[in-house]
A and B are shown apart, each in its own frame.
Chain A
Amino acid sequence: MLQNISKLFRNCGHRFLLPKFPMSTLESIESNPLDSELVPPSSSLAKSQNFKRKLEFMPPNMEPKQAWLENLNTTDEEKISILELHPQVFGSMPRIDVIHKNVRWQTLYGRMDLRQAASRAELPGGGRKPWPQKGLGRARHGSNRSPLFYNGGKAHGPRAPKSYFYMLPYDLRVLGLTTTLSVKLAQDDLHIVESLDIPTDDQQYIEELVQARMWGPSVLFVDEQDVMPENITKATENTRHFNLMPAYGLNVFSMLKHDTLVLTLAALNRIEHQLLLNIHRNKNGKHQFRYMPSHH
């Protein structure tokens, strides 16, 4: 038990985790884990049998990462059991450059510039010679919509449609997700809960909960499916920095924008399974299909 806890602290790198845990509880964990304040008798460790996770594609030289399974029923956190997380998803090297590439891709690939400055051909009129070539002493012109004229066309202005689209390599996007999840776990910003069921639909309940547990100002709750329990949707409706997201919607930008990431067990299983599948399977060159809009 002590070894598992020391591994958990080792995840955090330079960030100092200990102030959250009062010394008395640490001592009690060392002495007798079942009698500690962190694990109340109602949710005994015997229940943890149900939460034992089977890690797929587990290389023999790697040890699993560990995180607490918490609850959302009470304002103060109740640690139900310790979960094992796959090291390739939650313990990979924090690649800041890969995270940067993913964030840049997310901001740019949908960017569209639809500004257009009308050229001399697109403006009305401009077919007639404004005044004769010779005799007037004025400069010679052929059209009153040339770029030289006031209200004339723009020669080299912005021309729509301009896109900044590009696709990041598939494996780099997968790596972006794994590295961001690892960073979140290491910096104590990742919390795993049983489910998003809360007792009331009161907005204050969630705010007090986040305050009491010292979660970040902004929290991202991730569940497996896109239909969320009624109470949490009502409670987080008006708070713009508490957001709900399905597992398929998880992305590097949102994980960095929100300080804390809260995953349900179902979401964790789904995300881990999908990421491990994409890391380990034999793709035969079909891992990313090019977007082919049909115009036939």
Chain B
Amino acid sequence: MNSLTKLCTNTLSIARVLHKVCIQVSRTCVSKTALDQPPRWRHGYKVKLHRGLLPRLPDEKTPLPMPVYKPSNAWTPQKALFGQNDYIDILGNEEIHPVSLQYHVPFYARGMKGNEFKMLLHKKKMLGNNTDYKTLNPKKWDMLNKRIKFLGRWLNRKTKSNLTKQL
């Protein structure tokens, strides 16, 4: 075993205790000799020889404290056919808007984008007029109205206009 590998094993055994591998090295080589002095530049700088997770030694019995990597399946039925009917108004029936096929999106939010206030106002219009949401979910309806009232007041009195970051 040459001096380099000896140094490596020594440092690794130190690392097991210190959880860090930082030694002072000279410019040209890593071997430790009596004549080697710390370099005259970068005083106090400790070179990190090893970064990241420390290597597992062969006789180590404790496993790494992290889960074993399992790659995700890129060919599940949902992923394989993702985006299937997005161009249906070009290649198929012109009267179908592709966003109407987004069944996973709640109907009150379909085709809508905005800040929370806009989305809640739209949601109130969609749920209040045509559905029984008011009678079936009285508490949620009250909370919706409460939030709309609060946001109206807060946006008008507590925020500057045209600052989208505040919401």
Show the binding face of A for B, using Cβ within 8 Å. 106-107, 109-110, 112, 114, 119, 121-122, 159, 161-167, 170, 173-174, 177, 218, 240-241, 243, 245, 247-254, 257, 270-271, 274-275, 278, 288-293, 295-296
From the candidates B84, B93, B108, name the one contacting A245 in the complex (CB within 8 A): B84
Mark interface residues in B18-39 (1 if CB within 8 Å of A CB, else 0).
0000000000000000000000
Closest to A112 in B: B105
Q: Hey, which bits of chain B sit against chain A, CB under 8 A?
A: 75-77, 80-93, 97-100, 102, 104-113, 116, 119, 122-123, 125-126, 129-130, 143, 146-147, 150
* B88 near A248: Cβ-Cβ < 8 Å: yes
Query: Are the C-beta atoms of A248 and B75 separated by less than 8 Å?
Result: no
23 pairs, A vs B, C-beta closer than 8 Å: A106-B82, A106-B86, A110-B104, A121-B143, A161-B109, A161-B119, A163-B112, A177-B87, A218-B75, A245-B81, A245-B84, A247-B91, A248-B87, A248-B92, A249-B84, A251-B85, A251-B86, A252-B83, A253-B83, A274-B90, A292-B111, A295-B125, A295-B126
In the bound assembly, the distance between CA atoms of A218 and B106 in angstroms comes to: 33
Residue in B75, B86, B109 whose beta carbon sits within 8 Å of that of A163 in the complex: B109
- Residues of chain A contacted by B109 (CB below 8 angstroms): 112, 161, 163
Closest 7 CB pairs of A and B: A248-B92, A291-B111, A253-B83, A240-B75, A106-B83, A110-B102, A249-B84
Cβ of B76: which chain A residues have Cβ within 8 Å of it?
240
A291 touches B88 (CB 8 A): no
Say yes or no: A110 contacts B99, CB within 8 Å.
yes
The reply to whether B113 and A164 contact each other, CB–CB distance below 8 Å, is yes
CA distance A241 to B93 in the complex (A): 27
Contacts A161-B109, A245-B84, A254-B81 known; list 15 others, CB within 8 Å. A106-B83, A107-B83, A110-B102, A119-B147, A165-B99, A165-B113, A251-B86, A257-B82, A274-B91, A275-B90, A290-B111, A291-B111, A293-B110, A295-B125, A296-B129
Task: Tell me the total A-B contact number using a CB cutoff of 8 A.
Answer: 124
Q: Chain B nearest CB: distance from A24 CB in Å? A: 38
CB <8 Å contact, A165 and B112: yes
Are A166 and B88 neighbours in the complex by a CB distance under 8 Å? no
Report how far A114 CA is from B42 CA in the complex, Å.
52
Query: Which of A107, A252, A289 interacts with B97 by CB under 8 Å?
Result: A289
Interface centre among B111, B112, B126, B150 (most CB of A within 10 A): B111
The CA-CA distance from A275 to B99 in the complex, in Å, is 20
Q: Complex: how many Å from CA A278 to CA B147? A: 45
List of A residues within 8 angstroms of B119 by Cβ: 161-163
- Chain B min CB distance to A219 (Å): 11
Do A249 and B85 contact each other (CB < 8 Å), given the known contacts A159-B116, A174-B90, A295-B126?
Answer: yes
- CA–CA, A170 and B146, complex, Å: 39
**Interchain nearest-CB distance for B124 vs A (Å):** 9
Q: For B146, what are the chain A residues with a Cβ–Cβ distance below 8 Å?
A: 121
A114 CA / B104 CA spacing, docked (Å): 11
Report the minimal beta-carbon distance from B65 to chain A, rounded to whole angstroms: 28
Question: Which of A218, A250, A254, A296 is in CB contact (< 8 Å) with B91?
Answer: A250
User: By the criterion CB–CB under 8 Å, are B84 and A173 in contact?
Assistant: no
A109 to B98, CA, bound (A): 10
A293-B106 in contact given A110-B99, A121-B150, A253-B83 (Cβ < 8 Å): no
Most buried by B among A110, A253, A292: A110
| Docked-complex contact A271 and B150, CB < 8 angstroms | no
Chain A nearest Cβ from B164, distance in angstroms: 13
A278 CA / B90 CA spacing, docked (Å): 7
Residues in B neighbouring A162, C-beta threshold 8 A: 116, 119
Query: Least Cβ distance of B121 to chain A in Å?
Result: 11
Within the complex, the shortest CB–CB distance from B145 to chain A, in Å, comes to 11
Q: Chain A contacts of B147 at CB under 8 A?
A: 119, 121-122
Beyond A121-B146, A251-B84, A293-B107, is A241–B126 a contact (Cβ under 8 Å)?
A: no
**Complex Cα spacing A289 to B97, Å:** 8
A159 to B, closest residue via Cβ = B116
Q: Determine how close the nearest CB of chain A comes to the CB of B19; give it in whole angstroms.
A: 33
Chain B residues with CB under 8 Å of A173's CB are 87, 90
